[in-house]
Amino acid sequence: MRMNSAHNAPPPAQVFIPPATGAPAAAVHRPADGPRPGVRTSVDRPLEALTPPDRSEAAQLAVCFATDYLSWDEAVPERRVEALGWYLPPGADCTLGWTGKGRQRVEAAHAGRIISVDYWLVVDVRARVTPYRRLPGPPDLSDDVELLEGARWSSVPPATAAGWEAGPSMWLRLSIPIRRHDSGALVVELAPIPENAERDS
C-alpha cells in the first residue's frame, strides 16, 4: 500500500531566531510612557522604544542635561523647569535637585564611563560648577534677552548679575540614567531616592 507522501516527509527543520539583545528585559520591566486605552502589555511597546540607545548620543544628552540640572537662578526659576522639560518624560518633576534658592552655573561638563543597566545606559558626568553668593542691596531682575530662532533656553544664568558675586568653582559628579521613551526618543530617568534606600538595599 502506498503511504501518503506527507507522512513520509521528514519533519520540518526548526528555525532558531536569536532574541534581540536586551529587548526582553526592556520590554517587560521598564515603565510605560503615558496612558493608553485598554490593557497595556509588553507586546504593545513599539520597536523604536526597544532600540538600544546609541552611546555617543546618550553621552551628549547626559552632558547637556548635567549642565541644565546643576544651573539655576532664583530670579527666573521657571527657566530651569523649562530647560529640564526637554530631557525628561512628560509629567516628570522638573523641580527636582534644587531648593529654589540661590544662583549657580555650570562652566563645563564632560562625559566619562558608560555602563549598561537593564534598559538604561548610565553616563558618568563630571561638571565644573560655580556657585554665587548674594551681595547687599536689591538684585536686578531685568531680563530682556530674546530667544534666537531655532534655539531653546538653557538654565545656565549669565556669568555676572547685579546683586551676586561668583565664588570659587568646584567639580561635581553625576551618574545619569538614560533610556528610550515609547516614542523612541532618549530621555533622562530622574526620580527622587527614598531616604531609607541605603538601609533597604
pLDDT tens by residue, the chain, 201 residues: 333 444 454 444 443 333 344 444 555 556 667 655 555 677 777 888 888 889 999 999 999 999 999 999 999 999 999 999 999 998 899 999 999 999 999 999 999 999 998 888 999 999 999 998 888 866 555 555 565 566 676 888 877 778 888 888 999 999 999 999 888 899 999 988 887 655 555
Q: Give the predicted TM-score (pTM) of the model.
A: 0.74
Q: Choose among 82, 122, 129, 85: nearest CA to 105.
A: 129
Please tell me the distance from the alpha carbon of residue 28 to that of residue 2, in angstroms, as a whole number. 52
Please tell me the distance from the alpha carbon of residue 55 to that of residue 64, in angstroms, as a whole number. 14
Q: What is the DSSP string of the chain?
A: -PPPHHHHSPPPPPPP-PPPTTHHHHHHHSPP-S--SS---GGGS-HHHHSPPPHHHHHHHHHHHHHHHT-EETTSHHHHHHHHTTTSPTT--TTTT--S-SEEEEEEEEEEEEEEETTEEEEEEEEEEEEEEEPSS-------PPPPTT----SPPPS--TTEEE---EEEEEEEEEEE-TTS-EEE---PPPTTHHHH-
Please tell me the distance from the alpha carbon of residue 151 to that of residue 148, in angstroms, as a whole number. 5
Q: What is the pLDDT of residue 10?
A: 45
Q: What is the pLDDT of residue 29?
A: 59
**Burial code of 42-66, b = ≥16 C-beta within 10 A, e = fewer?**
eeebeeebbeebeeeebbebbbbbb
Q: Is there a contact between 121 and 111 (Cβ–Cβ < 8 Å)? A: no
Going along the chain from its start, the domains and CATH numbers come out as 50-138+152-191 (3.10.450.540)
CA 3 to chain centre: 65
Largest separation between any pair of C-alpha atoms in the chain:
109
Give how far Cα 92 sits from Cα of 33, 108, 122, 189, Å: 11, 26, 18, 9
Q: Is there a contact between 80 and 155 (Cβ–Cβ < 8 Å)? A: yes
